[in-house]
Structure 1
Amino acid sequence: MKFTVKSAQQVARMVDVYSHYCPQPLSMQRFIDFGTKTGTEQSSFEFLRRELPVRLANIMMEMNQLPEPLLNVPSVTMVSNWYKKSFTEIIGFENSDGKDLDTLSTFADTLVVIRNRHANVVETMAQGVMELKDRYGEENMDTLQYFLNRFFTSRISIRMLINQHALLYGSQLANHPRHIGCIDPKCNVLEVVKDAYANARFLCEQYYLTAPELELITHNTHDNEEDISINSLRAVVENFPVDSTLPKLKVHICKGKEDLTIKLCDQGGGIPYNNINKLFEYMYSTAPSPSCADSGSAPLAGYGYGLPLSRLYAQYFQGDLVVSSVDGFGTDAYIYLKVLSNEANECLPIYNKTSARMYETDVVVSDWTSPPKSPQNSRTFSTLTRTYQPRT
């Protein structure tokens, strides 16, 4: 029988209880081993009914620390309510019998419902941030940047767990027979890059009617790759006159002992040095802001989430995304991924006293005549006075 939470007070207490537990990070190798050797539907159920509430509660506690104006924005309130509902549904299985087939079936169905409910979280949260920015300008943007990085990383990890269970034990089938849930243990990076380029080229040609060619260079040898390609293609097209020969987008793929590195090089005019850090700020973009123009085809960029989310996907399993640029010439982007699956461990946010303090008010007093804006963080070049506010 499922345990039912009847009041908001009970939910809040349960969230507080689960937020005191630390999320348990898994390695890519553990995901693979569980899907092929050690895992069963019952053991997956036993793990997820404990782990999912912990991950949800940790990020829900951080959400409660956000500035009140943002929490009161309708779209953010909607996201918060989605999380509360999903948390309630998961802990409803807290005392359920993992050996009961009906319970396992209901649990799998519930996970799919939760996954579908959260499908538009990124867009909905982005809308809330845009509304807040329109009302209050740049106020609290540092706090928002900190929160959104952690919030979206948590979302990636939760969807990873849910997708694995749904594909291994639910009615949904994997995309390919060799896939272990949503993991392809024999992933062909070259084909992934080609596919990402094809998708980016299609969008570029749809909007600009042309696109640079791709030059692939391999040494020793999905989503984030495509976002970077779109930025590079758009930059090159906009940087060269109509009907001119566009320089190729060069992609180097190199497998070392520890890292698999993908380097993308374009000649799209580059990015000013002071704007490099801004590339990973939410709501910042080098393209015009998206509009509801009647052209029928939306701009390729302007939403401000492509690069920040791409970096989070890379960092999720201990990789990274780094951008360097020569203003007036072009930009290089480096994607670093772990070669060994046992070293590709989840990087998860933890709610504790340290993270809680990040949401307290900072008063930054500059002690430099002209502190550099980038790439140094402003706090490196200022005296920080922290104002402590009581947390409710």
Structure 2
Amino acid sequence: MAAKKAMEGISKGLMEEVHKWGAMKQNGVSLRYMMEFGLRPTPRNLLISAQFLHKELPIRIARRAIELDSLPYGLSDKSAVLKVKNWYLESFRELRAFPHIKDNCDELYFTEMITKIKVRHNNVVPMMALGVQQLKKDLNPKRIVYEDLDEIHGFLDRFYMSRIGIRMLIGQHVALHDPNPAPDCVGYIHTKMSPVEVARCASEDARSICSREYGTSPDISIYGDPKFTFPYVPSHLHLMVFELVKNSLRAVQERFSNSDDVPPVRIIVADGLEDISDEGGGIPRSGLSRIFTYLYSTAKNPLSQQPETDIETPSNMAGYGYGIPVSRLYARYFGGDLQIISMEGYGTDAYLHLSRLGDSQEPLP
């Protein structure tokens, strides 16, 4: 109800401004450019970066706000989606109200503002996932034809990909202000990231979640050279590995819940590739084509377990249906990809390809 009232208070002038900016051209950047530009975070470079963001962020945010207003099947009217739209419009309003950035004093104030915007949008993914679940709850499950919901899937792919880019640009700019950056780090980018080490940290986090949910967790075996490094964003890789391992742990744990001989989840790190495999019984052939959609999950719907007032920080191990498709978007953001191969009755292999060169431009939806 509060979200609907907020929507009613939006001025016609603001929406006209949103549509004007939403029609402007976006400008993508590459990982290599971010890294090379950030190597020298001089006051002049930070000023240039802020001036770029001052124009670029309203364009990207406006595009998403416009789409949020015209979704099919009544998704735009779901309370969770209205809340997300309100966040986007508020951020757009703040960015447009900020005056031209002329000097480094302006740049510091601007950096404070976009830091707050990034925090405001922290829960966009679970909130949008809730909106989709609210829609799914209203639909007759027997009449859902997933292929007929391509429009929603396409929107969510664009929406989440855009969000990854917005958060990367803001996070990179803010991180460049750190007076004591970690060794070999340029903002968000680690110039010598060890995928084995990141996989190890993400795996422990996933095991911790699994233990909390089931009281125990399968082991994880990691194979690869920890000295192998390349430039990448560790937080992106951590999220992808965490989601994939979490799914594998759940599948194995549920399949071998009454067994003393539980097979480990295996992670093999090769040159630009991570293979995460399990013996959790695999994905039914009927569900394999749907694992990258947002209306499908093999887990129990968390809305049946968690009050809607508590979804700001969903704690369930699975069930919202966005972990795998969003992980693929993170891989594709810098030119990589995620593929899932499953053998029903045995297990699943997830192949995570990462682009080492970082020359590909951001995909701009």
Q: TM-score range by the shorter chain?
A: 0.7 to 0.9
SS at match of 1:143: helix
Deviation at 1:118, TM superposition (A): 1.0
Aligned to 1:72: 77
Aligned to 2:13: 10
Deviation at 1:115, TM superposition (A): 1.0
1:250 equivalent to 2:266? Answer: yes
What do the CA deviations read for 1:31-65 (whole angstroms, capped 9, x no partner)? 11111137612101111111111111222222233
1:164 equivalent to 2:177? Answer: no
- Rounded to whole Å, the distance in 2 between the matches of 1:175 and 1:323 is 36
Matched pairs, number: 333
Alignment of 1:293-332 (within 5 A): 299-332=316-349
SS at match of 1:37: coil
* 1:266 maps to amino acid: D
Q: 2:358 aligns with which of 341, 362, 366?
A: 341
Which has more radius of gyration?
1
Q: 2:305 aligns with which of 288, 292, 297?
A: 292
Cα distance change on mapping 1:68 and 1:299 into 2, 3 Å: closer
For the 8 Å contact 2:334–2:358, the answer to whether it is kept is no
Aligned to 2:255: 239
Cα distance change on mapping 1:67 and 1:237 into 2, 3 Å: same
Aligned to 2:110: 107
For the 8 Å contact 2:129–2:321, the answer to whether it is kept is no
Deviation at 1:330, TM superposition (A): 0.6
What do the CA deviations read for 1:152-175 (whole angstroms, capped 9, x no partner)? 111111011111111113xx6777
Deviation at 1:251, TM superposition (A): 1.4
- Rounded to whole Å, the distance in 1 between the matches of 2:41 and 2:213 is 49
Which moved further from structure 2: 139-148 or 224-233?
Answer: 139-148
1:269 equivalent to 2:281? Answer: yes
- Rounded to whole Å, the distance in 2 between the matches of 1:8 and 1:280 is 37
More helix by share: 2
Aligned to 2:89: 84
Cα distance change on mapping 1:7 and 1:246 into 2, 3 Å: closer
* 2:200 maps to amino acid: K
Cα distance change on mapping 1:103 and 1:234 into 2, 3 Å: same
SS at match of 1:45: helix
SS at match of 1:150: helix
The root-mean-square deviation of aligned C-alpha atoms, in Å, is 2.4
Alignment of 1:1-392 (within 5 A): 8-37=11-40, 40-67=45-72, 69-93=74-98, 95-99=99-103, 101-137=104-140, 138=144, 141-169=149-177, 176-218=182-224, 221=228, 222-255=238-271, 260-290=272-302, 291-292=304-305, 299-343=316-360, 345-349=361-365
TM-score, normalization by structure 2: 0.84
SS at match of 1:253: strand
For the 8 Å contact 2:338–2:351, the answer to whether it is kept is yes
- Rounded to whole Å, the distance in 2 between the matches of 1:60 and 1:103 is 27
Which residues of structure 1 form unaligned runs of 5+? Answer: 1-5, 350-392
SS at match of 1:96: coil
For the 8 Å contact 1:273–1:327, the answer to whether it is kept is yes
TM-score, normalization by structure 1: 0.79
Aligned to 2:3: none
Aligned to 2:5: none
Cα distance change on mapping 1:183 and 1:14 into 2, 3 Å: same
- Rounded to whole Å, the distance in 1 between the matches of 2:31 and 2:91 is 25
SS at match of 2:185: coil
* 1:280 maps to amino acid: F
- Rounded to whole Å, the distance in 1 between the matches of 2:315 and 2:27 is 40
For the 8 Å contact 1:320–1:336, the answer to whether it is kept is yes
Cα distance change on mapping 1:310 and 1:174 into 2, 3 Å: farther
For the 8 Å contact 1:270–1:325, the answer to whether it is kept is yes
Aligned to 2:234: none
- Rounded to whole Å, the distance in 2 between the matches of 1:7 and 1:303 is 30
